[in-house]
Structure 1
Amino acid sequence: MTSLDKPAEKRTGRHAADTDDSAAADSRADSRAATEAALFDAFGGVRGMVETTVPGLVFVALYTVKRDIHVAAVAALGLSLVLGIARLVGKDTLKHAFSGVFGVAFGAVFAMMSGDAKNFYLPGMLYTLGLAVAYIVTSLAGWPLLGVILGPVFKENLSWRTRNPGRKAAYTKASWAWGLILLAKSAVLFPLYWWGDATQLGWVKVMLGIPPMLLSVYLTWIFLAKAPPPIDVFAEMEAAEAGGAAKAGGTAGARDTGKPALAEAEGHGGPPQ
C-alpha cells in the first residue's frame, strides 16, 4: 500500500461510518414517528380526547344555567351520539365511535334515575379508578397493561415479554405513569363527589379531562421512543410460511426430477449404466 492509498482508505472508512450514523438516525426518527402515530391511533388522538370532554362540558354548562338534570343529560347524550355518528360516517373504528357514547349514556341514566347530577360523572370516575389500579397491578405482576394494549398495534403482540426486555421495561414504566396519573386524578375528583356540589365536580372534571391524558401519552412516547424497536411477529410468521412453502416446493420438484430417471431404469431392466 502506498502513502497515497492511506488517505483514500481513511476517507472511505469515515464516509461509511457517517453513512451508518445517518441510517441509524433515520431509523430512530422513523421509529419515533411510528410510535407517535400508533399511540394517537390507539387512544383516539386529540379528537378522541376532545370528544370525551365536550359532552361533560355541555352537561355542566346546561346544569349550571338550567338546574335541570334531564335537560343537561339529554343534551350531553345527544351531542355524544352526533360525534359518534360523525366517526362512523368518516369510517373510523367502532371503538372510537361508541366508547364515548356508552360512557355518556351510563352517566345520563345514573343522573336521571338518582336525581343527583353528580352521578352523571360517577361511571367515568369509577372507570378511571379501575383503570389506574389495573395499570399498577399488571405492572407489578410483570404483565404491564400498556404492553398488552399496544403490542398488537406495533405488530409485536406479546413478544416483548420474553424476547425484548428493553420494551418490557418501557411498557412497565409507561404503565406506572398511567396508573399514578389516573390515581392522582381520582384523588382530586372523588372528594368533590362526596363533599362538593355537582357544578364544582363538573367543572373540575372538565379541566382534568385532557391534560392528564396528554401527559400520559407524552410519557409513554418518551419511554417507547428510547426502547428497542418492536419485533414484528407478523412478518416473522409470513417469512416462516414463505420459507416452508419454498421448501415444500423444492422437495416436490426434486421428486418430480427423480421420476424420469427411475422410469428409464425400469425400461432397461436395471439401473442406468
Structure 2
Amino acid sequence: MPEDASAGPASGSADPDSAATASEAFGAALGSAARRAGFDPAQADSTGHVVWHAMGGWRGVLESVLPGLAFVVTYTITRQLVLPLVVSLGIAVVFTLVRLVSRQPVTAALGGLVATAIAAGIALWTGRAQDNFLWGFFIDLLFGAVLLISLLVRRPLIGLAVGWLMDDAPGWREDPRKRRTFFWLTVLWTGLFAARLIVEVPLYLAGAVTALGTVKLLMGLPLFAPLVAVSWLAVRALYPRGSRGARDSGDSAPTTDR
C-alpha cells in the first residue's frame, strides 16, 4: 500500500458512505475516550505522564493485570476451572467496590468487571478453561476490524480521533504529512490487535491455558504503553501547542515534549 494511501479515494474508486460514517462516529467516540484517559495533545503533559495516565496509574494497572494473573496462577496450581474463575471475578468485584467506596470513577473498573464476568460465564458454560479468553479475542477482533476498515475506506481511525480532539476534523485530510502519519499510526494499532490474535489463537486451539494466559498478559499493557507513547509523540510533533489546527488550551506558547 503506498505511503500516501490515506490521501482520499482516487477518481472513480468506491468510497462506501456507510463505512466512512461509521468510522467517523467511532473516531469521535475514540477521541472522547482518549481525552478522558488523558491523551490530549493540546496539553503540556510529558510523554511519561500521558502513558501512565492512559494506563490508569497504579490502580489501572492492577485492575488490568491482577484478575488475569490470578486466573493463570490459580489454574496452573489447581488445574480446576471454577476456583480460578471465582478468584479472578472476586478481584474484579473488589476493585469496583473500592472505587465505589472511595467515590472514584468506576467506569474502567466496571468495564473490567463486566468483561471478566462475561469471560467467566463463557468458560463455565463450555466447561473449558481456555474459553475464558474467548471474549478477549472478540474484543481484539472487533477493534482490529474497525481499524482495518477505516484504512480501507481511507479514513484512518487515528486521524479521525485526533482530528476530533484537536478541532481539525476537515483540516488533517488536506495535509499530506498528517495523512501519512495517521495512516501509519492506524496501521500500527491494527497490527497490535492482529499480532495478539496471531500469537494467542494457536495457543487457544492447543488448549495451552497457562501459556495463553501468560502471553495475553505480556501482549497487554507491555505493548499498549509503548504504542501510546509513539502515538503521543507523533501527534505532538504534528500539533505543537499554539500551532494552527491545534485546539486552544489557554496557553499558546509552544512546548517541547520532555
Query: Normalising TM by the smaller chain, what interval?
Result: 0.5 to 0.7
Distance change in 2, residues 1:126/1:157 (3 Å): farther
How far 1:186 sits from its partner (Å)?
1.3
SS of equivalent residue, structure 1 residue 33: coil
% identical equivalent positions = 27
CA RMSD of aligned residues (A): 3.1
Matched, 1:172 2:187: no
Distance change in 2, residues 1:42/1:166 (3 Å): farther
Distance change in 2, residues 1:159/1:214 (3 Å): same
How far 1:111 sits from its partner (Å)?
0.8
How far 1:170 sits from its partner (Å)?
3.1
- TM-score, normalised to structure 2, is 0.67
Match of 1:74 in 2: 86
Task: Find the aligned partners of 2:61 and 2:178 in 1 and give their Cα distance.
Answer: 26
Match of 1:108 in 2: 120
Counterpart mapping for 1:76-95 below 5 A: 76-95=88-107
- The answer as to whether partners of 1:80 and 1:101 remain within 8 angstroms in 2 is yes
Task: Find the aligned partners of 2:179 and 2:107 in 1 and give their Cα distance.
Answer: 26
- The answer as to whether partners of 2:196 and 2:219 remain within 8 angstroms in 1 is yes
Matched, 1:231 2:242: no
Distance change in 2, residues 1:139/1:33 (3 Å): farther
Q: Which has the higher helix share?
A: 1
Match of 2:221 in 1: 210
Match of 1:137 in 2: 149
Match of 1:123 in 2: 135
Distance change in 2, residues 1:68/1:44 (3 Å): same
1:134-192 Cα distance to aligned partner (Å, 9 max, x none): 2222133232223444555x352735545666444433322211111221121110000
State the AA in 1 paired with 2:137: M
Distance change in 2, residues 1:166/1:32 (3 Å): farther
Task: Find the aligned partners of 1:51 and 1:36 in 2 and give their Cα distance.
Answer: 20
- Per mean C-alpha deviation after superposition, the further-off stretch among 99-108 and 89-98 is 89-98
State the AA in 2 paired with 1:232: R
Counterpart mapping for 1:145-164 below 5 A: 145-152=157-164, 154-156=165-167, 158-162=169-173
Q: Which of 208, 211, 224 in structure 2 is aligned with 1:200?
A: 211
State the AA in 2 paired with 1:111: A
- TM-score, normalised to structure 1, is 0.64
Larger radius of gyration: 1
State the AA in 1 paired with 2:96: G
SS of equivalent residue, structure 2 residue 45: helix
